[in-house]
Every structure is written in structure tokens, then in C-alpha cells.
A and B are shown apart, each in its own frame.
Chain A
């Protein structure tokens, strides 16, 4: 029977679609730890981890359709050309980055990163930008902060909003045909001198460190140009890469969906079989309990439960279980009512087997195919309810779930600000996962459900 069930699943078109979607999701969640750093899972809510990403950047493939927006650039010392010179006791470490500017829009911001080890005499940092029109802007010239104790590494980042940079740029006004006084530094740096547009071409940005003693050294240097487009799914307000969140959401959603449905169907199965098999007063009272659970409003009570007991993922699974076993119990009971009059069940009873043994050995195995179908059908509801709970702000705060992403999007008013890449993918993933399980369940059900087959024949 089981074999026939799964063969039937693979023979139907709906079944194949469902199975291949689930297969794809499983594959993605299996390779996820290999393609994305595992810290991103644990540090999803840690703003520091995402600081090198642009803020609220659209997916980069949007450049194919509209004007070419500036794509995020993040460079570290490995991307730089390092030239070290020394004369008269002063060593100059020059980290030169090359940027090929081809976009139609300016970067959102510029960050110069450095990390240096020095003693009493702090090094001096000079940042030069060599533009395609052969002008060189010295945008920053200042010593690093003095440190009290020697041989500590000092790391910092200089933002383009820095006052020194703004001031340094004012001296280049004479090169421009128009006033640059109100413009942001990142705009001035990448502007054409004749008209307020982007000057395309290769820019060389050098971070020159002047080191005054032998034990000073530059540990790291980097450059980040904040883009308006980033990655395949863009970023949110907290600079998080949404593609990473979407991928980590898959195993969590599958885990919640499958655990809740398997356990709730198991509870419903045992409950329904016991009620149907024992019949009479047991059946009557068990079904009244079932009715009471049916009449409970799920969401408000879930809210109350998670407010009272906490929001860990396992607690949430437990709460979902409370509200999801009744449907199965009812269906299984009506089938068990018929099953208990079958001859092999009566024979087993006459042989003196205990009720428990009859239920687990003779009745439940007959119901297994239907159980598989019910499990698959119950998954979408579990995923949807968990997402709803996360969406109203009661999800497990330590996990990157799709519901949580949508919660953040809603808190940030993403919809009315038009940040569609923050809203569309998580919802689509919820629906896609649900739909796949629904298709599988529906196919299995049409093979296994005796009630449905009877209707079809009628």
C-alpha cells in the first residue's frame, strides 16, 4: 500500500511538481552552510555583522531594466595594490584601490577602512583620489588618533560625511563649472566638472599611511562604496543581505512545518482511533473535547501563550500542536468507526488481544497512507501560523525566519516606501513551500482517502 502510494505520487503531475519543489528546498538548505558563512545565521540580528553592506539596496539585476544604478563595492587589502616606500626614516604605505565607475548614479556613501598598529607617534593618513579626467583630489589628510598604550591595533572607518572630507573638497570648487557647495562628498568626487553628472571611467583611490617609527605598521585597509544595488536579493534597512535570510529561512520553515504536522497528525491519529474504536461513551466524551478545541480562536490564544511562556522555537511548536490535531482526529475517528467492525479486527479481538494491541497492530497500519497525506496537508497551515506569529512580533527572536523578515519590513514601512524586494521574496517563499506540501498532500489524499474515493464513484 505504501509503495503504491509513493508510486502514485510520482505518477501524477501535481505530485511531481510538489516533490521537486521540496527537493529543491531541501537541497538549498543542505548546501546553505557551504555557500554562505554560518555566522550569518547566528548574527542575523546583529547590526555590526552587516555593517559593510549597503543600506536598503535593490537587487542588482534591476540594473538590466532601468537606469544603471551604482553597484555596491566592498574591497579589502587583498584587492589593493600595496606600494611601500621609505625615505628619511618615514615609511609610506600606499594602498591603491581601482574603481571602474560605469553606473549612471552616484554611490550612497564612501567608507575608508583602516586598521593600524602604532605607538606614541600616530601615523598620518592621506587619501588621494585620482579621477579619469586626471584631476587628483586629496580628500583627507590627518593623523590617526593618539593612543595611550603602545602596540595596540587601532581600527576605524572614515565616512564620507566626515567634516575633514567636506572641507577638503571645497578647495576644488575652481575646477567645477557649477557650485558644489551643497553636494555630498561622494557626489562631488564622482562628478563631471562640466555638468552635474557621473564622470565615468577608472578611479584610483589611494590610502597613504605615513609611518614615523619602525614598530608602526598598517594591519588592514579597505574601501566600501555604498551601492544602490546589491547581490541577487538586495538588502534591508539594517544592511542585511536578504538572500542570506531567505536561504536560512528554508530549513527553519521546513523544520517547523514538518515537526508540527507530524506530531499533530500523530496525536490526532491516536486520539481518533481510540475514540472511534472504543465507541460509545468514550467516543462521545472525546469528541466533545475535540469540539471544545475546535471552538478556540487560534491566533489570540497563541499570542497569549507566547506572551506568558516565552518565544523559543520549541515552545512555539508546542503551542501550534495544541491547535492543530483536531481535524485529523475527527476524520480518523469516522474511519476507525467503520474499521472496528471489519472481520480481521473482530478476529483479533476474539483471539484475546488487548485493545492497545489491536489499535496499534491492526487499525493504525491501515490508516498510515491517509496519515501521510494528512501530514503533507497540515504543513502549510503550520508554516503560515508560525509566520503570522513572527509577523506580529512573537516569533523566536534569535532565528532568521521569513515571518520575522516581513515583520521587520512592516515595522520599517517597507510597503509604503516601495521597498518591494524586502516584501515579495519572503512571502513567495512561504507560499511556495506551503503550495508544494499542499500539492503532495492533495495527490496522496486522492490515492489514499476512502471517503474521497467513495465520493468520486458516486
Chain B
């Protein structure tokens, strides 16, 4: 917040200026000439700045607290360029309209990537050193080296331009009140979803494999094997259960880190979520929207980390005693 002091000052001054000019334009005030009008406007601006404490500088504690509260309640005024589907230009309305779409895409993709990753990782851990194992590791390295948004562009190139299977723009064409809207939305969501899964499941599988192989070298696994328990059962129930907590943490952190990538990916696919709004707001330099979006994505990020921590406690029986 302290960092943003001067930006906020500028924003607030701008807002006050617009407000004053609006009042003058709509009010019944009459002026002799343009000089008188502009001097009146300037006086009003100075007066209002004083009331809102702008002249005390951005480091004044009360102003900082006020601003923190205004960011947390999304009281960020009006956007200059964007409106909601229903025509509101309030920053809060705009952001809250977009967040569900992002969450829909991101959580669906995360769950899919998680499930695929765990099964694939467990499978290759059971066949350490095999062709499957090696190609999985290589795939993971590659999916970490390529920018996910670049993969997204390639996907559009292949599936939308060359093969015409999916639409290139993921914004649904029908309106939300349409009965076919859900189908339309799912059809448009397919390509971003597939891309998000492709770029993240390799990493998940790699993490799962890494922890499982460490567990598989432990003595109790060897003991179980000598007891005659089948390899498959050891792998899927005993080893996976024990590797659960660290896997949950590592995968959770990795997926939380991929949230930024998912945001950019939205911009590529034109998926009408936060990422697209971010991209457009940066292009138009719409600062209130950017601040609001940064705040909400920070919240989403922290919630993801929090869920990761909680799942650690749930998965690890040793933590239950506390």
C-alpha cells in the first residue's frame, strides 16, 4: 500500500476532478467566461482534496489504513474503460462478474490435472527406469520449460485454425439467459481446459513419482514385499498413503504457482475471466481494475496455500494428535 501511495493519489485526484466537472456540467451554475469556470473548478478540487486528506501526503497512517480498507472492500471507484454485461462500470461489479469464470476453469483444470498426475505418477513410480518413466520425466521437464501461454497459442493454431475442432475465442456467443448457454460455455471452455491440463499434469506426475520412489526405498515397503503383499497393492495403498502429505504440499504449491500462468492463458484464449480482464486493463492502463484484480488474485493464491496446509494435516495422521 505504501508503494502504491502516489498512484492512489493520482487516482483519487482524477476521481475528484471528474466529480467536480460533472457537478459543474449538470448543475445550474452560470459562468461569465471560461476563466471563471476553470477557477471555480480548481477551487472546488482543492477544497475536496483537503477534505479527503490528499494534501497530507500518501504516507499519513490514517490515509494508508483508509486505503487498505478501500482495497479490501473493493471500493475502488469506477473503471474508465470496462463495464459488466449489465452495464455497471463499478470496479467491484466488474471483478466479481469475472471471478467465477476463472475459478470454474482453474479448479476444473486443477482437479483433472491432479487426478491424472497422481495416477500417472504412481504408475511410472512402479516402473522406475522404464520407457514410460523416462518419457514422463522428459515431458515434465518440457512442460516446465515452455511458457504455458505459448502452448496455448499453439493449441489454437492446431485445433482452431488447422483442424477447426474448437473455436479460437473462448468467449461464449450466446447470452447467459439462453437455455443452451451451459453447453455453449462448456464447448468454448474445452480448449483452455485441455491446455491447462496438458501444461500441468506432467509436473504433478513428476512430483508424485519423486516422493513415491523415495518411499518405495524405505524398509517397511521391503518388509511388506517379503510378506507377499502384491506390488500393485503396495504401490497404490501403502506407498501412496505414506507419500500423501508431502505430495499434497508440493503439488498444492506447484498448482498455486501455476495460477499466474492460468491467468495469462485466459488472455490468449479470450476466456471471459480475470486474466482476460487483466490483459485488457493493462492494455488500457486502467489502474483501479488492476489493483482490484491483484488483490483478489492474492486472496485466491493464499486460499490455495491455506487449503494445501490443511490437507497436509488431514492426510498426515501424526498431525491429528495436535
Cross-chain contact B153 with A308 (CB below 8 angstroms): no
Chain A residue contacts of B291, Cβ below 8 A: 304
Q: Does A388 contact B (CB under 8 A)?
A: yes
Cross-chain contact A416 with B156 (CB below 8 angstroms): yes
Per the bound structure, the CA–CA distance linking A392 and B3 in Å amounts to 22
Per the bound structure, the CA–CA distance linking A426 and B154 in Å amounts to 12
Q: Does B99 contact A (CB under 8 A)?
A: no
Per the bound structure, the CA–CA distance linking A426 and B153 in Å amounts to 12
Cross-chain contact A418 with B162 (CB below 8 angstroms): yes
Digitize B278-306: 1 where CB-to-A-CB distance is under 8 Å, 0 elsewhere. Answer: 11001101010011011001100110010
Cross-chain contact B282 with A427 (CB below 8 angstroms): no
A154 to chain B, nearest CB (A): 39
Cross-chain contact B260 with A298 (CB below 8 angstroms): yes
Per the bound structure, the CA–CA distance linking A455 and B305 in Å amounts to 27
Q: Does A352 contact B (CB under 8 A)?
A: no
Closest residue of chain B to A309, judged by CB? Answer: B3
Cross-chain contact B153 with A394 (CB below 8 angstroms): no
Per the bound structure, the CA–CA distance linking A217 and B253 in Å amounts to 72
Within 8 A of B (CB), among A292-311: 295-301, 303-305, 307-308
Digitize A407-432: 1 where CB-to-B-CB distance is under 8 Å, 0 elsewhere. Answer: 00110011111101001101100110
Interface residue total, chain B, C-beta cutoff 8 A: 48
Cross-chain contact B147 with A303 (CB below 8 angstroms): no
Cross-chain contact B157 with A406 (CB below 8 angstroms): no
Cross-chain contact A427 with B260 (CB below 8 angstroms): no
Instruction: Give which listed residue, B7, B153, B169, contacts A410 with CB less than 8 A.
Output: B153
Interface residue total, chain A, C-beta cutoff 8 A: 41
Closest residue of chain A to B261, judged by CB? Answer: A388
Cross-chain contact B141 with A438 (CB below 8 angstroms): yes
Cross-chain contact A388 with B157 (CB below 8 angstroms): no
Cross-chain contact A301 with B153 (CB below 8 angstroms): no
Chain A residue contacts of B113, Cβ below 8 A: none
Per the bound structure, the CA–CA distance linking A410 and B169 in Å amounts to 12
Per the bound structure, the CA–CA distance linking A417 and B145 in Å amounts to 26
Per the bound structure, the CA–CA distance linking A308 and B9 in Å amounts to 12
B299 to chain A, nearest CB (A): 9
Decide: A388 near B156, CB < 8 A? Known: A418-B162, A431-B142.
no
Decide: A427 near B287, CB < 8 A? Known: A393-B282, A434-B145, A438-B145.
no
Closest residue of chain A to B301, judged by CB? Answer: A297
B78 to chain A, nearest CB (A): 18
Closest residue of chain B to A394, judged by CB? Answer: B282
Q: Does B161 contact A (CB under 8 A)?
A: yes
Closest residue of chain B to A410, judged by CB? Answer: B268
Q: Does B217 contact A (CB under 8 A)?
A: yes
Closest residue of chain A to B299, judged by CB? Answer: A297
Cross-chain contact A420 with B260 (CB below 8 angstroms): no
Cross-chain contact B282 with A410 (CB below 8 angstroms): no
Q: Does B257 contact A (CB under 8 A)?
A: yes
Q: Does B31 contact A (CB under 8 A)?
A: no
Chain A residue contacts of B105, Cβ below 8 A: none
Per the bound structure, the CA–CA distance linking A203 and B168 in Å amounts to 42
Chain B residue contacts of A17, Cβ below 8 A: none
Q: Does B146 contact A (CB under 8 A)?
A: yes
Cross-chain contact A415 with B153 (CB below 8 angstroms): yes
Cross-chain contact B283 with A304 (CB below 8 angstroms): no
Q: Does B214 contact A (CB under 8 A)?
A: yes
Cross-chain contact A300 with B294 (CB below 8 angstroms): yes
Q: Does A435 contact B (CB under 8 A)?
A: yes
Cross-chain contact B142 with A391 (CB below 8 angstroms): no
Chain A residue contacts of B156, Cβ below 8 A: 415-416
Cross-chain contact A295 with B305 (CB below 8 angstroms): yes
Q: Does B109 contact A (CB under 8 A)?
A: no
Cross-chain contact A416 with B161 (CB below 8 angstroms): yes
Digitize A184-211: 1 where CB-to-B-CB distance is under 8 Å, 0 elsewhere. Answer: 0000000000000000000000000000
Q: Does B204 contact A (CB under 8 A)?
A: no
Cross-chain contact B149 with A388 (CB below 8 angstroms): yes
Question: Which of A307, A406, A415, A434 has the most chain B CB atoms closer than 10 A to its own CB?
Answer: A415
Per the bound structure, the CA–CA distance linking A384 and B258 in Å amounts to 12
Q: Does A351 contact B (CB under 8 A)?
A: no
Chain A residue contacts of B256, Cβ below 8 A: 297
Cross-chain contact B157 with A420 (CB below 8 angstroms): yes
Decide: A304 near B264, CB < 8 A? Known: A393-B283, A415-B168, A431-B146.
no
Q: Does A175 contact B (CB under 8 A)?
A: no
Cross-chain contact B157 with A295 (CB below 8 angstroms): no
A455 to chain B, nearest CB (A): 7
Cross-chain contact B260 with A300 (CB below 8 angstroms): yes
Digitize A268-301: 1 where CB-to-B-CB distance is under 8 Å, 0 elsewhere. Answer: 0000000000000000000000000001111111
Q: Does B263 contact A (CB under 8 A)?
A: yes
Cross-chain contact B147 with A301 (CB below 8 angstroms): no
Q: Does B4 contact A (CB under 8 A)?
A: yes
Question: Which of B4, B145, B151 has the most chain A CB atoms closer than 10 A to its own CB?
Answer: B145
Cross-chain contact A391 with B298 (CB below 8 angstroms): no
Instruction: Give which listed residue, B6, B141, B268, contacts A435 with CB less than 8 A.
Output: B141
Chain B residue contacts of A308, Cβ below 8 A: 3-4, 6-7
Cross-chain contact A391 with B149 (CB below 8 angstroms): yes
Q: Does B123 contact A (CB under 8 A)?
A: no
Cross-chain contact B3 with A416 (CB below 8 angstroms): no
Per the bound structure, the CA–CA distance linking A435 and B279 in Å amounts to 28
Cross-chain contact B157 with A303 (CB below 8 angstroms): no
Chain A residue contacts of B142, Cβ below 8 A: 431, 435
Cross-chain contact A388 with B267 (CB below 8 angstroms): no
Cross-chain contact A415 with B161 (CB below 8 angstroms): yes
Instruction: Give which listed residue, B6, B153, B290, B297, contacts A409 with CB less than 8 A.
Output: B153
B90 to chain A, nearest CB (A): 21
Per the bound structure, the CA–CA distance linking A91 and B264 in Å amounts to 63
Cross-chain contact A430 with B157 (CB below 8 angstroms): no
Q: Does B150 contact A (CB under 8 A)?
A: yes
Per the bound structure, the CA–CA distance linking A140 and B161 in Å amounts to 41
Cross-chain contact B267 with A392 (CB below 8 angstroms): yes
Q: Does B315 contact A (CB under 8 A)?
A: no
Cross-chain contact B145 with A435 (CB below 8 angstroms): yes
Chain B residue contacts of A431, Cβ below 8 A: 142, 145-147, 150
Contacts from B to A (Cβ < 8 Å): 3-4, 6-7, 141-142, 144-147, 149-151, 153-154, 156-157, 160-162, 168-169, 214, 217, 256-257, 259-261, 263-264, 267-268, 278-279, 282-283, 285, 287, 290-291, 293-294, 297-298, 301-302, 305
- Supplied contacts A392-B282, A415-B268, 5 more A-B pairs, CB within 8 Å: A299-B259, A301-B294, A392-B279, A415-B153, A416-B169
Q: 7 nearest interchain CB pairs?
A: A299-B260, A416-B168, A427-B150, A415-B156, A297-B301, A418-B161, A300-B294
Q: List 20 A-B contacts (CB under 8 A).
A: A295-B301, A297-B256, A297-B298, A305-B3, A380-B145, A387-B147, A388-B261, A391-B264, A392-B278, A393-B279, A393-B283, A406-B149, A406-B150, A414-B153, A415-B157, A416-B156, A427-B154, A430-B147, A431-B147, A434-B145
